[in-house]
């Protein structure tokens, strides 16, 4: 098959566009992004490694779902199944994570609150997902998926990163608690989730409005999933309990404002703690894998705060004694 550059050039010629190409992904990846000239303006082109069938393509499917739900995602300007290409609206280069690093305290809180306000809007599109038979409606954070992520943590933190595999006894004890955790979260997997909702997957457009990117992996999950993902992403210090409680209240208020059912604050706190444990352990597994196998050692400083968050959440729930003991040993 032709190279990615050759396919992109062929596509642009077929559309009568000059091959004015700026590469946006520095390294080879599953899909690569380019900024190109497009009908007198600019657009983003995503080039996949292989051809695709439009009706089975998750990015196209979830984009259409989110657009139907009134969510701020990029418009699909064109696509080519044979060449494996999708052309998207260009939002610019302002990633929320980078904006948060340079914002003053007041503006930073505004941006965080604005991002939180998007999550209920995603959840409000749950019925549309099922009515349209979206790919996202057929995927779920069920016990099997959640356990796979927790096993990934065990393997890559203890074996790959620490090089100290768990004893059979400790591994079995953790396995029992992870099944309990996963089964509890499966019962709560009732709403549409972005699945990777964090500050690197949000952008600010030319009007300073937040836009969603990388939403192709959307699936059904707990009401707390995207909020935990956003608030606990790559922190170097665990957020204070008071700050997290404030953001949970804001989230619940925003849900009610758009007509979603009321959830009691204490009930949601327990769900948030449960989801935080699973999500943060999954993140530790990813950080461990990436630091050892991909040389991305800048992930290492995030591991300890993630463990601290998991420990605090498990203590708040007064559950998972084996997990708590093992984390204390790591800290």
Does 178 share its domain with 76?
no
Q: Is the pTM of this model over 0.75?
A: yes
Does 15 share its domain with 83?
yes
Does 138 share its domain with 271?
yes
User: Residue range 174-181: average pLDDT?
Assistant: 97
Does 315 share its domain with 167?
yes
Report the distance separating Cα 303 and Cα 110, nearest Å.
27
Backbone angles phi, psi at 298, to 5 degrees: -65, -10
Does 10 share its domain with 141?
no
Contact between residue 245 and residue 227 where contact means Cβ atoms under 8 Å apart: no
**Statement: residue 28 has pLDDT above 80:** no
In sequence order, what are the residues at sequence separation of 6 or more whose Cβ sits closer than 8 angstroms to the Cβ of residue 102? none
**Statement: residue 193 has pLDDT above 50:** yes
> What is the structure's pLDDT at 24?
87
> What is the structure's pLDDT at 17?
84
Does 176 share its domain with 259?
yes
User: Residue range 111-139: average pLDDT?
Assistant: 98
Q: Which of 66, 89, 112 is the last residue of a domain?
A: 89
Identify the burial level of 167 via C-beta atoms within 10 angstroms of its C-beta, where 0-12 means exposed, 13-18 middle and 19 or more buried.
Answer: exposed
Q: Which of 89, 109, 136 is the last residue of a domain?
A: 89
Report the distance separating Cα 322 and Cα 182, nearest Å.
16
Nearest to 45 by CA among 82, 16, 73, 4: 4
Does 182 share its domain with 232?
yes
**Statement: residue 34 has pLDDT above 90:** yes
Contact between residue 172 and residue 58 where contact means Cβ atoms under 8 Å apart: no
DSSP code of residue 160: I
Does 60 share its domain with 107?
no
Torsion of CA 271, 277, 280, 282, to 10 degrees: -110
Q: Is 192 helix (H, G, I), strand (E, B) or coil?
A: strand
Does 194 share its domain with 142?
yes
User: Residue range 127-142: average pLDDT?
Assistant: 97
Mean pLDDT, the chain, whole residue set: 95
- Per-residue model confidence as pLDDT tens digits over 60-99: 999 999 999 999 999 999 999 999 999 999 999 999 999 9
Q: Based on the structure, what is the number of domains in the chain? A: 2
Identify the burial level of 237 via C-beta atoms within 10 angstroms of its C-beta, where 0-12 means exposed, 13-18 middle and 19 or more buried.
Answer: exposed
Name the percent of the chain lying above pLDDT 70.
Answer: 98
Q: Is 235 helix (H, G, I), strand (E, B) or coil?
A: coil
326: left (phi over 0), alpha (psi -120 to 50) or beta: alpha
User: Residue range 268-281: average pLDDT?
Assistant: 98
| Terminal-residue alpha carbon distance, the chain | 50
- Per-residue model confidence as pLDDT tens digits over 215-251: 999 999 999 999 999 999 999 999 999 999 999 999 9
Backbone angles phi, psi at 203, to 5 degrees: -130, 160
Does 231 share its domain with 325?
yes
In sequence order, what are the residues at sequence separation of 6 or more whose Cβ sits closer than 8 angstroms to the Cβ of residue 287? 299, 300, 302, 303, 306
DSSP code of residue 55: G
Residue 295 corresponds to which tokens in the numbers above?
């040389």
> What is the structure's pLDDT at 1?
56
- Per-residue model confidence as pLDDT tens digits over 14-25: 998 877 788 887
- Per-residue model confidence as pLDDT tens digits over 288-320: 999 999 999 999 999 999 999 999 999 999 999
Name the percent of the chain lying above pLDDT 90.
Answer: 91
DSSP string, 98-125: HHHHHS-HHHHHHHHHHHHHHHHHHHTT
> What is the structure's pLDDT at 29?
60
Does 244 share its domain with 259?
yes
Banded model confidence at residue 31, pLDDT cuts 50, 70, 90 = confident
- Domain of 20, CATH number, reads 3.30.200.20
Report the distance separating Cα 276 and Cα 312, nearest Å.
10
Residue 98 corresponds to which tokens in the numbers above?
């980078």
Nearest to 35 by CA among 53, 49, 17, 52: 17
Residue 79 CB-half CA count within 13 A = 18
Does 201 share its domain with 311?
yes
Domain that holds residue 207: 94-330
Report the distance separating Cα 66 and Cα 73, nearest Å.
7
- Domain of 217, CATH number, reads 3.90.1200.10
Q: Which of 89, 123, 141 is the last residue of a domain?
A: 89
């Amino acid at each position: 098959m032709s190279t990615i550059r050759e396919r992109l050039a062929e596509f642009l010629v077929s559309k009568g566009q000059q091959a004015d190409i700026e590469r946006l992904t520095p390294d080879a990846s599953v899909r690569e992004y380019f900024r190109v000239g497009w009908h007198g303006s600019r657009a983003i082109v995503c080039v996949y490694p292989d051809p695709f069938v439009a009706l089975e393509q998750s990015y196209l499917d979830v984009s259409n779902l989110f657009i139907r739900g009134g969510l701020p995602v990029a418009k699909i300007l064109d696509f080519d199944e044979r060449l494996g290409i999708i052309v998207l609206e260009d939002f610019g280069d302002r990633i929320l994570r980078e904006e948060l690093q340079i914002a003053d305290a007041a503006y930073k809180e505004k941006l965080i609150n604005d991002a939180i306000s998007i999550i209920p809007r995603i959840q409000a599109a749950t019925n549309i997902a099922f009515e349209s038979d979206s790919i996202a409606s057929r995927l779920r954070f069920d016990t099997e998926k959640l356990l796979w992520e927790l096993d990934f943590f065990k393997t890559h933190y203890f074996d790959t990163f620490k090089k100290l595999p768990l004893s059979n006894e400790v591994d079995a004890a953790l396995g029992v608690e992870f099944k309990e955790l996963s089964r509890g979260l499966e019962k709560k997997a009732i709403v549409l989730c972005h699945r990777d909702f964090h500050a690197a997957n949000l952008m600010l457009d030319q009007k300073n409005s937040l836009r969603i990117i990388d939403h192709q992996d959307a699936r059904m999950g707990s009401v707390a999933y995207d909020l935990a993902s956003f608030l606990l992403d790559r922190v170097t210090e665990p957020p204070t309990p008071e700050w997290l409680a404030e953001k949970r209240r804001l989230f619940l208020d925003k849900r009610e404002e758009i007509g979603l059912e009321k959830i009691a604050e204490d009930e949601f706190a327990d769900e948030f703690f449960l989801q935080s444990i699973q999500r943060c352990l999954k993140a530790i597994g990813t950080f461990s894998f990436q630091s050892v196998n991909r040389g991305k050692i800048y992930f290492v400083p995030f591991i300890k705060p993630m463990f601290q968050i998991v420990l605090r959440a498990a203590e708040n729930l007064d559950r998972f004694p084996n997990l708590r003991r093992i984390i204390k040993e790591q800290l």
